Structure 1
Amino acid sequence: MRVIAGEFKGRQLKSVPGKSTRPTTDKVKEAVFQVLGPFFNGGKVLDLFAGSGSLGVEAISRGIESGVFVDKHPKAIHTIKENIKTCKLEDKVEVFRTDAFQAVKASAKRGLVFDLIIIDPPYGKVNYVKLINQIIQFNLINEDGLIYCEHDPKEDFNGVNENLNLLKQDNYGGTIGITIYQKN
């Protein structure tokens, strides 16, 4: 696993040991960032279910200024911290070991607002619609901000807040679905 483009292009990133995470492939990551924006001009990323942190690191490599990475598994937190150290991002990234819903509430209490929110949980373990609607309810996404979801292709997104526009919904190889929303 590596950083595809930007400031840290080519840097090797570690994967979380074991089978508890499913790293986003380089091919999917490249396709996704062509839609999200090949490069960003500042902003803040919230990487929920960060795993190794590779999607958040990729966003920062492509110009996002700073980020908050969240995962509840100790091995993931350890891997995220190693990858942040590899890219010398300690001063740009906060890492929290907590549940995604708690992270959303905590971010709201701190008054944080993001330009990109990444939601990539283990498939079948999270209610995407509930989480996305909570993000909107707590005003965690800037105007024109993006919410990226990686999911099982059969995932149902009916009931997502009407303040979001569906930018792209696709699947890769029949096993990985992606849905990208933009706030109106």
Structure 2
Amino acid sequence: MRVIAGLAKRIPLITPVGLDTRPTTDRTKETLFNMLQPYIVDCNFLDLFSGSGAIGIEALSRGAEEAVFVENGQEALNCIRTNLTKTKLMDKGRILNLDVLSALIKLEHQGGKFDIVFMDPPYLKGEEEKVLTYLKDSCLIDKNTLIVVEAALETDFTYLEELHFYIDKIKKYKTNMHVFIYPEASD
């Protein structure tokens, strides 16, 4: 696995050993960032369930202003630190060693908002619904925030309307998909 484009192009990244994380393949990452590219430059990027940090690092490499990495697995945290150091992007990255909901609460108390929220939670455990339920009333996002969820193909998103989110588009791959979600504009 490597950084695909930008300042850190071609720098190899390390990933945690084992089955606790599923590193996004280079091909899938490239497809994702081709869709995200118009929104990346100068954005504040939130990478939830960060794993190796590859997605947030790709955003930084392509011009994001800042990326916040949320991860609570020790081996994954070590990978994020190493990868940020290797890519010389540590000064633009912030790592929170917390579970995702605790991190969201902490970030909310610190103020600020994110332009893009990316999450790659464990598949089919309902974690994305918990995060979206929290975010629906959070000051961390606004009507222009793009939320991208990496999920198994069979993941149910029928609850989104009830939470006042809508799906802008879905990109399906062989075993998973990226779901692009926006908050509904409030009247």
Q: CA deviation digits over 1:29-53, x for unaligned, max 9? A: 1111122225622021111100000
Q: CA deviation digits over 1:50-91, x for unaligned, max 9? A: 000000001111111111101111000000000000111221
Contact 2:121–2:128, Cα closer than 8 Å, also in 1: no
Change (3 A) 1:154 1:141: same
- Which residues of 2 match residues 85-164 of structure 1 at below 5 A? 85-160=85-160, 161-162=163-164, 164=165
Change (3 A) 1:25 1:38: farther
**Structure 2 unaligned spans of 5+:** none
Residue 60 of structure 1 aligns with which residue?
60
Residue 19 of structure 1 aligns with which residue?
19
Q: How far apart in 2 are the matches of 1:151 and 1:81?
A: 25
Q: How far apart in 2 are the matches of 1:157 and 1:127?
A: 12
Residue 168 of structure 1 aligns with which residue?
169
Residue 7 of structure 1 aligns with which residue?
7
State percent identity of aligned pairs. Answer: 36
Matched letter for residue 136 of structure 2: I
Q: How far apart in 2 are the matches of 1:114 and 1:96?
A: 15
Give the CA deviation at 1:146. 1.0
Q: How far apart in 1 are the matches of 2:117 and 2:168?
A: 14
Q: How far apart in 2 are the matches of 1:158 and 1:59?
A: 29
Quote the RMSD (CA, aligned, Å): 1.5
Give the CA deviation at 1:18. 1.8
Q: How far apart in 1 are the matches of 2:36 and 2:114?
A: 14
**Structure 1 unaligned spans of 5+:** none
TM-score normalised to structure 1 length: 0.92
Could you list the runs of 4 or more consecutive aligned residues of structure 1 that deviate by over 4 angstroms after TM superposition?
none
Residue 40 of structure 1 aligns with which residue?
40
The alignment partner of 2:90 has SS state of coil
Q: How far apart in 1 are the matches of 2:112 and 2:145?
A: 13
Aligned residue pairs total 182
Q: CA deviation digits over 1:100-149, x for unaligned, max 9? A: 11111111111131111111012123431231131131121244221110
Task: Report which of the two has the higher share of strand.
Answer: 1
